[in-house]
Structure 1
């Protein structure tokens, strides 16, 4: 359970009564955490907690979402909200209607919302004057600009509303690459030149210099008709579409070559500005034409300073003779400052606040009614969704999911979709119209797209839609592309799906397919049936002919076959032996030369894809996952690198996104949303006392820890950048403490000790923990303790070789309900499956055991995991429950398929060359686990082979040379597994 809420102000009047009712409703619902409420209500945690704080009246939409999440009566609460609004503001009860009346008046809003600022909005574009000036000077001096920035940092706006107006009118050509960048570029140039796009496209594909010559022709033709600019500014926005939508590598390279040549030709009359998301920087370095120019052409867009933010907020309003309330300015600046992707959220929140303005003032009350910083966008999207009926909600889901390009090692991005790809029906047309009116989508000409990628990040419902079956979505995208190709080639039967691809596509739900896609699949099915019929006729003829040839060929084939087979066998065995030797060597190299080790392991796996080479590849990728600096051991007492996790005692939140690492007397908090790029959040200090065990509550808001001083400490980590100590309480144990466990609801903790006892604690109020009772019964040191997911039982392991399970429903009278006997040595590790039906234990007897505890007190041993050569020190289940991981003193990380708990299957044996692995925890990213070694180093292990193969080349710095290849792969042709890098 998280910390108690701040007491309400009794003098708060109607707001006090309203907030008290909301809190009572939450009590009646079983006091769910605000994290759980946010998942149900699709609003942010801060928005929902503020609704019950009693400081201001939440919007009706937020109130009803809160009520729905708690199972309340929405009709009753509409009346309660209306009465409270009347009592607080009087005439404000009709504020929504007034807002609509004002919006119908046709006044142009001073803020762009989710849309990028365009040339027409230059008069409202403030705060980026310094950056705009630097970019203009860069373009004038160097002609080629590659502008990198996070999604939402304002790249598009600064180019369109800042840089373009600094050049002569009509001198800019702006476009996005799309799936076919050369075709898009040819169409734009042809429109300027007044010619047909087909020939221009063909010339661009054949000769990159065509772009440069076409620009000169366009400018020369305009000079003949009157005054014209001397140069053309070409702006390529959303350059990352070159990697997310365009699948033709050659077309990418030709497009880039055309841009670079046009900017660098001696007689160039073209200046090129490219805007690309910063997480695609590595992709850009793989383009030969661009990689050489990047060091001199790139420029980055960072977060706005506080002064720039104030200008962006106040100046557009001042242009419209509006004022911004000082409290609102302070709140917006605090929310947006230091956040590189916050600008679209800021602009949307300002737009929604403008709609709720009072007279000529933008107020804090209007901002809060709109839902706050991130809540404004979520509220707009949820209001759109809630206003639709069932059929149209399903149409909205299909539409928004289709407008997202799924990331391949990067974040998901928006996707520009031709209208012909969408089924034209009343439901889809209605949703498209409403979403466009709400400024969530843009529809220009023949294309539709999401207004800004911030919607993908901040709308939980859309994120949930995308995550429910990403594999199905990728298959659907491939089907859409194949359908488009089939139509573009006049229904050529050679482009139809066959065999396994057709069968897989047929498994897609019919309701997600458009009429075009269904026609494509039907044509493929018909062609497959016709092909089968032809094959049957052909087979009958071949059988008659083959009977006559078999006897004649048998003797010759037999003699030749023996010779060829013998030679092939020798070659295959030699290559396999070389691959196995290289794979073993790659693991040894991984801690010193991770880049080289990954390439050797990858080449070995491709040469001989088998269990040992697969394990070596996963081992080297895991060692290299956070870079050699992150994984090196360090002397005792030396502070870890500030940019990489290190320590000896880890704790991970239930969602796997936040890591706490105890390192001596301090705890460092890390954001592990992207395990390859951990971000340091904050630091906790334990007053110089060494910590040996830490654990998060289920909601991740509280962290508990124990140290050598046998004191229980609790910290508030709801804001991980500013953690705070809540309490310190001596545990009363007479021996050293070994571990701590927290029940998922945050109400109870358990500490284990070498005094052979367990103590239970009430931490409902983390500021005042209370001891509930002491559990005795073990006949040796009590080591691991773990609560079941439902919190009804507690499992404990001991040096007496037993695992005891305690009923802690009444913690004052906790009793043992089962003793699991079977280990032959000390029990050192425990983990429950997510459903609570299975317990996994690890022991000094070199085994881990799976136990069925679904019907206590009855229990039984299910299966034994025995692949370690030494003590099993840690065990964990993956979040989905189908995979388990065990680690040990032998330095091994073993991965198991436990789908059939009675017959667990070994999946992978990964090796840590640094020796003993002490702890293991699952992370948020699918198939990833975090381990901690005896030398305080942290490693990320990838168990998904497909993902490892896709990402392997991203880990290397320099391509393996011929000498190194010959050393590790003698007598095999030089074939580096990754593109050349220097």
Structure 2
């Protein structure tokens, strides 16, 4: 008769609960005998009995064999085993293998190897020799590699340790938010000078670094140069917000290495996903042309040396099964080195005597789970209030990537609220090597914590917009403090409203300094509002006074004779001009009151200048304001044959409006998307709406305006979308993407759009897409070119030509209504005209010069005879003869987009309606991003970064 199992106390701990669950699994399988279990599992019955006995924690292999014999879910039980192992490790006393901290371990864990660790840095000897040879051969070198590939360890424990042993002086630092300051401090430490004066010299003259280093090494042998190693160089893009300081830092490094008498050699350690940022810097492009080295994954042999040789130094051995498992888990994986090192630290803590075993490695969670287990154990060891502090801390220590992975962010302790809980959390996380502390700064030990801890990954993903908003608030607070709390640096308007919403939703996330900044911003805005209210009261009193003066003036006019008439007339003119000037001041805050003042002034004295003020007041009748969006409105589109307007915003929504009564627009529907919106466009005569977000393109049936139906989402593509356009017939849709391709889609059945063709041709993201009026030709822009395609058969598009000539990114493209001419705008401050109507090849017709900044937009008038180009100023061109365009007019002022009314008589750019006059629209509180005319041209819509859209009445071809 088999012996009965001893009873288990389910509240005794994680090990007992685990054993009880194994017993329940056996009960659910029909309670097979131990002998039957042993036959199925290929383990002895004693081993299987001990696994469910609750005295010892079974190995992972024994657990999975037990579960498989009982027909359980092996994948779920594997995750359960790792969770129990982590919970037991968190609760283990300090003198057991689960003790916190890798003290005494021969591995570096998440930290990079430092120069003083060179004696235990193995596996990279060959690559270290390559780097050293390149440094001796040239004065500038950029070392690229993915996060976690071991760049920092290679540069610090490999290169720096070797050149210091050879007697070379070394300046080793990370750039941080102020790279010139960091360079000055390191140079001052080497030369003994004051860093303040040195930093001023470095900012003023790029040659200073070269001269100071020559001075410092003048007594050294000619072959002993100074080596500057700027590790984590990507911080000049992620942390340094001052473009001038970034340029100054790059100029210092390049000047020091290119001088004919240079005694400086520079090595940059850069994360691979920031290669694109580097090649956008002209100085770096030239310096890196033949001076690059890539750090890839370790080979299997290098991994074996990195694992076994540090253990031998510590008097330990790595068992064969453990070595084979780690090499198998890691070989060929870029970015896995910190995970391997951390897993080996945890395995060393669970060693058996002097042996590092596979069971210890599995108990630590392996490279897949060891870091997450450590982080979760550290998190659970904190109280609920301390866990909230830790959450806020990790969010502050992460720099959110835009087009790149998230990176760590170094902060000063001043950014954190001091207190015992803050100090305890920092020390606890530092003991687990999750964060690194020094006297002034705090940072995450390695980006692997961001990538591999699911809890932190989820927090960074769940509300990214709020995190970006909070990061902006943090930077604004720091700037306000740096400027001695200058009132002009405070938030106002939409920014303040969004920040107050953030504070109300999660007040615990803000520091006392940030709350003080918001309180000061709110008080300043309240004071300004009160001042405007007082000014309005005074102006109303002035209206009353003016009315009385009009009566007095009329009476005086009847009674006055002779010379008194002239004096009274002059007095009235002066009063009217004063009233007109006051109206101009109040027009932005109170248009109705400004109109009353101008009317009263005109009735008092109808001079030319007073009449001009009156006409300006009524020149652009502001119809209504469309509110509801909570972030920047970036795109608008009118349906072609009805009165529906679509607005798209970064608040992840598209809103539909009925603007038939422009004075009382009605919101019809709100379409929610999971990502920030970029563009909208109507197709199929207004029955279908395409909405482009940062990750997808969705099609909506808007035939029922109040209840749109989502028809489909375009299949996932290798790259995010950037633009959308419909062919005039509405049967084909084109989308631009960040990988430089354009895709054509058959949308005749919008519920099942199908990919017709993928058009390559650009080396960078597509910036705009446009169909010709007849729908037979497609134009795309990206990098420094524009491409033309024959889209008559969209399933087999034929490449026609590449328009070359611009020297920087092409931003926009437009076809003339007659289809014979194409215009393009570019970052190179020019627009170009191309003749596509004569002969098989496109011919460059003309280059349009005169813009002071980037040309953001080009548009043809419906009559094909006029072209507008927008960039810093709005320029009008007569293109009747495309080969000899004539500049007709230049309107100063910044703008981003322009559009003509259907009758070609009215032009709208980002802040004006123009009909042979300059009539300002300026009632938006921020930059206007998009303008569009309604069908018929009687109504204009504008969108802005202030979170609103506005409607303007355009009557009879004149902005009146």
What is the TM-score with the length of structure 1 in the denominator? 0.54
Alignment partner for residue 443 of structure 1, among 424, 437, 444? 437
Shift of 1:479: 1.4
Query: Aligned residue for 1:246?
Result: 240
Query: Aligned residue for 1:162?
Result: 158
Q: What do residues 236-283 of structure 1 show as CA deviations (whole Å, max 9, x unaligned)?
A: 111111111111222111111111111221111111111111111111
State how far apart, in whole Å, the 2-side matches of 1:556 and 1:463 are: 66
Native 8 Å contact 1:887 1:919 kept in 2: no
Measured on the aligned residues, the alpha-carbon RMSD in Å equals 5.2
Shift of 1:954: 8.1
Give runs of aligned pairs for residues 521-670 of structure 1, distance below 5 A: 521-541=518-538, 548=575, 549=578, 550=580, 551=601, 555-557=607-609, 560=612
Shift of 1:484: 1.5
Query: Aligned residue for 2:214?
Result: 216
State the SS of the aligned residue for 1:293. Answer: helix
Q: What do residues 398-437 of structure 1 show as CA deviations (whole Å, max 9, x unaligned)?
A: 1111100000111000000101111112222111111100
Instruction: Answer yes or no: is 1:11 the counterpart of 2:43.
Output: yes
Query: Aligned residue for 1:469?
Result: 463
Alignment partner for residue 133 of structure 2, among 137, 141, 157? 137
State how far apart, in whole Å, the 2-side matches of 1:108 and 1:422 are: 31
Alignment partner for residue 493 of structure 1, among 470, 480, 487? 487
Does the C-alpha gap of structure 1 residues 890 and 537 become closer, same or farther in structure 2, counting only changes over 3 Å?
closer
State how far apart, in whole Å, the 1-side matches of 2:66 and 2:703 are: 47
Shift of 1:391: 0.9
Query: Aligned residue for 1:694?
Result: none
Native 8 Å contact 1:399 1:428 kept in 2: no
State the SS of the aligned residue for 2:43. Answer: helix
Native 8 Å contact 1:148 1:298 kept in 2: yes
Q: What do residues 509-543 of structure 1 show as CA deviations (whole Å, max 9, x unaligned)?
A: 21111111112222222333333344444445556
State how far apart, in whole Å, the 2-side matches of 1:541 and 1:171 are: 71
Alignment partner for residue 411 of structure 2, among 412, 417, 421? 417
Alignment partner for residue 348 of structure 2, among 342, 351, 354? 354
Alignment partner for residue 127 of structure 1, among 104, 123, 144? 123
Q: What do residues 276-307 of structure 1 show as CA deviations (whole Å, max 9, x unaligned)?
A: 11111111111121121222122111111111
Query: Aligned residue for 2:185?
Result: 187
Shift of 1:17: 5.8
Query: Aligned residue for 1:203?
Result: 201
Shift of 1:16: 4.2
State the SS of the aligned residue for 1:966. Answer: strand
Q: Alignment length, in residue pairs? A: 615
Native 8 Å contact 1:891 1:914 kept in 2: no
State the SS of the aligned residue for 1:408. Answer: coil
Native 8 Å contact 1:416 1:449 kept in 2: yes
State how far apart, in whole Å, the 2-side matches of 1:492 and 1:529 are: 17
- Where structure 1 has 5 or more consecutive residues not aligned to the other structure, the ranges are 23-45, 56-61, 86-92, 570-604, 619-655, 657-839, 851-860, 867-871, 879-884, 896-910, 922-929, 947-951
Query: Aligned residue for 1:959?
Result: 809
Alignment partner for residue 933 of structure 1, among 730, 755, 762? 755
State the SS of the aligned residue for 2:524. Answer: helix
What is the TM-score with the length of structure 2 in the denominator? 0.56
Query: Aligned residue for 1:66?
Result: 80
Does the C-alpha gap of structure 1 residues 12 and 516 become closer, same or farther in structure 2, counting only changes over 3 Å?
farther
State how far apart, in whole Å, the 1-side matches of 2:140 and 2:226 are: 12
Shift of 1:505: 1.5
Q: What do residues 114-158 of structure 1 show as CA deviations (whole Å, max 9, x unaligned)?
A: 000000110111111111111111111111111111000111000
State the SS of the aligned residue for 1:442. Answer: strand
Shift of 1:453: 0.1
Query: Aligned residue for 2:775?
Result: none
State the SS of the aligned residue for 1:146. Answer: strand
Query: Aligned residue for 1:580?
Result: none
Native 8 Å contact 1:253 1:288 kept in 2: no
Does the C-alpha gap of structure 1 residues 959 and 355 become closer, same or farther in structure 2, counting only changes over 3 Å?
same
State how far apart, in whole Å, the 1-side matches of 2:492 and 2:104 are: 53
Using the TM superposition, name which of 194-203 and 422-431 deviates more: 194-203
Alignment partner for residue 250 of structure 2, among 237, 256, 263? 256
Query: Aligned residue for 1:517?
Result: 514
State the SS of the aligned residue for 2:832. Answer: helix
State how far apart, in whole Å, the 1-side matches of 2:327 and 2:444 are: 26
Native 8 Å contact 1:324 1:361 kept in 2: yes
Query: Aligned residue for 1:318?
Result: 312
Query: Aligned residue for 2:906?
Result: none
Does the C-alpha gap of structure 1 residues 16 and 255 become closer, same or farther in structure 2, counting only changes over 3 Å?
same
State the SS of the aligned residue for 2:290. Answer: helix
State how far apart, in whole Å, the 2-side matches of 1:47 and 1:466 are: 35
State how far apart, in whole Å, the 1-side matches of 2:441 and 2:43 are: 55
State how far apart, in whole Å, the 1-side matches of 2:486 and 2:707 are: 55
Shift of 1:109: 1.8
Q: What do residues 658-703 of structure 1 show as CA deviations (whole Å, max 9, x unaligned)?
A: xxxxxxxxxxxxxxxxxxxxxxxxxxxxxxxxxxxxxxxxxxxxxx
State how far apart, in whole Å, the 2-side matches of 1:401 and 1:381 are: 14
Native 8 Å contact 2:234 2:274 kept in 1: yes
Using the TM superposition, name which of 970-979 and 128-137 deviates more: 970-979
Shift of 1:865: 5.2
Q: What do residues 282-335 of structure 1 show as CA deviations (whole Å, max 9, x unaligned)?
A: 111111211212221221111111111111111111222221111111111111
Query: Aligned residue for 2:110?
Result: 114
State the SS of the aligned residue for 1:272. Answer: strand
Alignment partner for residue 344 of structure 1, among 329, 338, 342? 338
Q: What do residues 327-381 of structure 1 show as CA deviations (whole Å, max 9, x unaligned)?
A: 1111111111101111101111111111111121111111011011121101100
Does the C-alpha gap of structure 1 residues 514 and 953 become closer, same or farther in structure 2, counting only changes over 3 Å?
farther
State how far apart, in whole Å, the 1-side matches of 2:636 and 2:617 are: 20
Native 8 Å contact 1:317 1:323 kept in 2: yes
Give runs of aligned pairs for residues 276-291 of structure 1, distance below 5 A: 276-291=270-285
Larger Rg belongs to: 2
Q: What do residues 204-247 of structure 1 show as CA deviations (whole Å, max 9, x unaligned)?
A: 22221122222233345xx5xx9999422111111111111111
- Where structure 2 has 5 or more consecutive residues not aligned to the other structure, the ranges are 1-28, 30-36, 55-59, 70-75, 547-574, 581-600, 622-632, 649-673, 675-697, 718-723, 736-740, 769-779, 786-807, 811-825, 836-845, 858-870, 872-960
Native 8 Å contact 2:206 2:255 kept in 1: yes
Shift of 1:558: 6.7
Higher relative contact order (CA 8 A, sep 6+): 1
Alignment partner for residue 396 of structure 1, among 379, 390, 408? 390
State the SS of the aligned residue for 2:268. Answer: strand
Native 8 Å contact 2:106 2:314 kept in 1: yes
State how far apart, in whole Å, the 2-side matches of 1:312 and 1:920 are: 56
Native 8 Å contact 1:873 1:887 kept in 2: no
Shift of 1:171: 1.4
State the SS of the aligned residue for 2:149. Answer: coil
State how far apart, in whole Å, the 1-side matches of 2:221 and 2:301 are: 40
State how far apart, in whole Å, the 2-side matches of 1:913 and 1:94 are: 57
Native 8 Å contact 1:918 1:934 kept in 2: no
Does the C-alpha gap of structure 1 residues 944 and 404 become closer, same or farther in structure 2, counting only changes over 3 Å?
farther
State the SS of the aligned residue for 2:430. Answer: helix
Does the C-alpha gap of structure 1 residues 919 and 418 become closer, same or farther in structure 2, counting only changes over 3 Å?
farther
Query: Aligned residue for 1:236?
Result: 230
